[in-house]
Amino acid sequence: MQPNMTWDVKEFTRAAEVTVDELAAYVDQSQRGTAPVLRRRPPRELADELELARWISEGGMTPDDFRRFLGVYLREGTRLHHSAYLGHQSAVPDFPAALADFVHGATNNPMAIYEMGASAATVEFEVVRWMLAKVGFGAGGGGVLTHGGSLANLTAMLAARAAAAPDAWTEGVPRDLVLLAAPSAHYSITRAAAILGLGERAVVPLEVDGLGRIDAARLPAVLDGVRRSGRRPMALVAGACATGTGLYDDLRAIGEFCAVNDVWYHVDGAHGASALLSDAHRHLLDGIELADSVIWDAHKMLRTSSLAAAVLVRREPDLDAAFQQQASYLFYGDQGFDLAGRAVECTKAELGLKIFLNLAWRGERGMGEYVARQYETAHRFWELARNRPGFEFPYEPESNIVCFRYGTADQAAIRERLMDDGTFHLTSAEIGGVRHLRVTVMAPATDDRTLDSLLHHVTTLPSA
Ligand SMILES: Cc1ncc(COP(=O)(O)O)c(C=O)c1O
């Protein structure tokens, strides 16, 4: 007898109910802080407890088995909804975006080709149009959603390369092209230079202040040096905001410099472009509209799961020029509404739906209030701690990222201790070559009590 491979929709419904029950309990526990923010068991031990090898070889999982499995799986993972989650810049997903992931998981409409998902593609068009308007690109702008900020940066750099060297796609990269970026730029920029064939050495470091922000007054000297050495700038990259410090570059001054000097201006707004939605913080992005290209991650501050990012350009044809491709099964005649021609990916998830549903539920205003609240909470941490003995803050935070040092002990060791006992998840970063603790306020559950508790834990660690 042929095995039946179609869905048993009753079993699906039962399994989905189990999933909702378990996830609801998990988020509830996480938000209330009644379980550790993370656990750090070694993979071998976890694989055994989850019985991974047995499930893989034997199959046969039922909804009840799944409940047991999911319970352990969630318990042993990292709880981003937890108030003590102050770690990496991954979004604490809002539930409408989670629903979108579920819909995508069931329908799988890979909409980079319009015929593979008209609704999904149409939602993406509208979300991109909304993002373009927020950035301040006029009707001539264009964009596409990508699986993450690194791909979005790569795509923007491809567009810049096509503008500087239109034959590069077929002839290879001219040796004189360089990329101007601060050492504080996200590593995906240097990677893009290497992937594009410019090579890492083609990234000319911009001069920065002691906190890694681009020194706009020194740009003429850098550009002059580049041009006098016979090289051509392909693009200049500014940060909004920098990954390590959460500080914004002076986007207007840099943009005006690029406009006058005919240099492609790229703004990496992966983390900080969402502040465009906050009345109190929009000023940090003043001048972003001068950019030729911008990236903006939704899976950081727009509360979607990983990955969903946008690459946006001021002139739509620039994005279409980024790629050339031949594939007779896909590309022939008029491409109509297909997005595949302007993205690295051929198959693309229904990324727009996650962003759209968050907007549809919370509204643009609600999303802006979230960003404002997170930025204000980081500021509050700085206010609470800056005058306490032993704490050093190199700057007043501008976003929801704040770096500090406590005492003279190894800061990385402080982080490890807090993570080992599951009390806090935080990160660290170097500023001027010195390691700092780094807090990123992502969870809506993080409040003053959390901040007090963090200060208490940091100051009472045995050898801190
Ligand atoms: C400023 C900045 N740009 C780009 C990226 C890369 O984005 P992704 O992790 O989505 O690839 C990050 C990630 O942290 C970032 O902070």
Which atom number of ligand 1 is nearest to the Cα of residue 299? 10
Give how many domains the chain has, as a whole number. Answer: 1
Indicate whether 372 belongs to any domain. Answer: no
pLDDT tens-digit profile of 230-277?
999 999 999 999 999 999 999 999 999 999 999 999 999 999 999 999
Can you name the residues that pair with 180 across neighbouring β-strands?
204, 236
Across residues 54-76, what is the average pLDDT? 98
Q: Does the residue 68 lie in any domain?
A: no
Residue 25 located in a structural domain: no
In the structure, which protein residues have their CB atom closer than 6 angstroms to any atom of ligand 1? Answer: 89, 148-150, 153, 186, 188, 239, 243, 268, 270-271, 297, 307, 309
Phi–psi pair at 388, nearest 5 degrees = -75, 145
Question: Is residue 76 a part of any domain in this protein?
Answer: no
Query: At residue 448, does pLDDT exceed 80?
Result: yes
In this predicted structure, what is the pLDDT of residue 464? 54
Q: Whose CA is nearest to atom 16 of ligand 1?
A: 243
Q: How confident is the model at residue 325 (pLDDT cuts 50, 70, 90)?
A: confident
The answer as to whether 29 is a domain residue is no
The first and second tokens of residue 41, run together, are 């068991």
327 pLDDT more than 90: no
Structure tokens at 404: 């500090």
CA 237 to ligand 1 center in whole angstroms: 13
Q: What whole-number distance in Å separates Cα of residue 120 and Cα of residue 302?
A: 18
Average pLDDT over residues 1-13: 91
Question: Can you tell me the mean pLDDT for 337-347?
Answer: 90
37 within some domain = no
CA of 72 to the centre of ligand 1 (A): 30
pLDDT at 2: 78
Residue 3: the pLDDT is 77
Other beta carbons within 10 Å of 451 = 22
Residue percentage of the chain with pLDDT more than 70: 98
Q: Going by CA atoms, what residue is nearest to atom 5 of ligand 1?
A: 149
Atom of ligand 1 nearest to the CA of 240: 1
Q: Which residue has the higher pLDDT, 87 or 462?
A: 87
pLDDT number for residue 462: 78
Determine, yes or no, domain membership for 320. Answer: yes
How sure is the predictor about 384, in pLDDT bands with cuts at 50, 70 and 90?
very high
Other CB atoms closer than 10 Å to residue 237's CB: what's the count? 29
Rounded distance from Cα 379 to ligand 1 centre (Å)? 22
Ligand 1, atom 7: nearest CA belongs to which residue?
Answer: 149
* CA 242 to ligand 1: nearest atom: 1
What pLDDT score was predicted for residue 328? 72
- The pLDDT assigned to 267 comes to 99
Distance of CA 454 to the CA centre of its chain: 25
Structural domain span for residue 189: 103-358
Q: What is the mean pLDDT of the chain?
A: 96
Q: What DSSP character marks residue 212?
A: S
The first and second tokens of residue 314, run together, are: 């001021």
| H helices present in 229-350, as ranges | 251-261, 298-301, 316-320
Nearest atom of ligand 1 to the alpha carbon of 153: 4
**Distance linking the first and last C-alpha atoms of the chain:** 68
* Mutation test residue for ligand 1: of 145, 154, 297, the one with most atoms within 8 Å of CB: 297
Q: For ligand 1, pick from 147, 150, 266 the residue to mutate: most ligand atoms within 8 Å of CB.
A: 150
pLDDT, residue 230, reads 98
Question: What spacing in Å lies between the alpha carbon of 90 and ligand 1's midpoint?
Answer: 10
301 within some domain = yes
Strand ranges, E, within 36-98: 85-86
- The reported pLDDT for the residue numbered 463 is 64
CATH number at residue 211: 3.40.640.10
3-state SS assignment for residue 80:
coil
- Please tell me whether the peptide bond between 241 and the residue prior to it is cis, using omega within 30 degrees of 0: yes
